[in-house]
Structure 1
């Protein structure tokens, strides 16, 4: 029996993931959490074979939480779920220690396949396109300038480029508007940009948003 813990702050998505997994005779959901803190507490008591983790969590981001999990539970496989397309965050997640990346739109058809591949075959669950990105980044020294951004800065950049204002970003990431302004200032400084329009143009040119 494959034992699974799930961390997602959206109740409907959490129930959907549990429903998909629990219909399988060889998979059992043994723990659930709706925040990063709850997820870490859950792993103290539960001993899952894999953690399914939402990339966008309130407070600490899914990427930061992933890094914490890998420090505290280095042998625990982690499958990232995200609303974002692979080309935006998958490589960052794999580099941070994730064992797979799956868009939420694909959970009905791919979730159980991903869980079995990671747990039973001890292999990462990524597409060929993501694998090519990983290889190209290893072999290519002229890295894009946005690689200098922290995970949270990168997340804020993409949200600004999608047209979200500071208040929306602050609410979605459970941050203060002042903190979002600070991230935006750091992004502009690191990318040598001055306006949100320039940030959006940069994101489009570098295929960070669709």
Structure 2
């Protein structure tokens, strides 16, 4: 098996670990690495490859938050023959369902053993889709109605307002000025809202909002 692989993740140690694991397999060549969505798209345009192993939530070099689900859709549209394996640290079931329901992209948790990554790549080469054990277990759990409600129903009025303004492009300072409160108050409300939604960072927040289809109009 001769495979050209591109890796994409904003954490250098993750890239190093994945590269090391894959290069142990005969016939695998890592032809490029990217740390941002834009650099990944540029690399795909200039570098032929067979497999892409990518994180779902990579911020841009400017710090701006990208939409991981949208990025995957763009890549699928532009490179329909490319086999894609998404590796994510996200645990929110709504986001995981949105990825898995695609039916084309293999998906792994970053907590999986590295041998599962190779199984996902082999499955892609056969035209199959691989879903990691941790993700299968997460999606098989009984639904927690409190956790699966749309965020607009789960958050307090203030928390929902802060999240709505933030995902529409306003900064913490701008939100504070609009609401007439201190930046620390807005930061706290945003942090508490993200905890309720089960996301740990801004890319995860945007992926959650995209998965639920709220605050986008």
Aligned counterpart in structure 2 of residue 122 of structure 1, from 127, 132, 135: 127
Unaligned runs of 5+ residues in structure 1 are: 135-143, 182-194
Secondary structure of the 2:111 match is helix
2:100 maps to 1:99: no
TM-score normalised over the length of structure 2: 0.60
Structure 2 equivalent of residue 75 of structure 1: 81
- Higher helix residue share: 1
d(CA) in 2 for partners of 1:18 and 1:79?
Answer: 14
If asked which structure has higher relative contact order (CA below 8 Å, sep 6+), I would say 2
d(CA) in 1 for partners of 2:24 and 2:81?
Answer: 26
2:26 maps to 1:25: yes
d(CA) in 2 for partners of 1:70 and 1:43?
Answer: 11
TM-score normalised over the length of structure 1: 0.62
2:182 maps to 1:177: no
User: Which of 1 and 2 has greater Rg?
Assistant: 2
Q: Once superposed, what is the RMSD of the aligned Cα atoms?
A: 4.1
Q: Give aligned pairs, total.
A: 166
Structure 2 equivalent of residue 48 of structure 1: 49
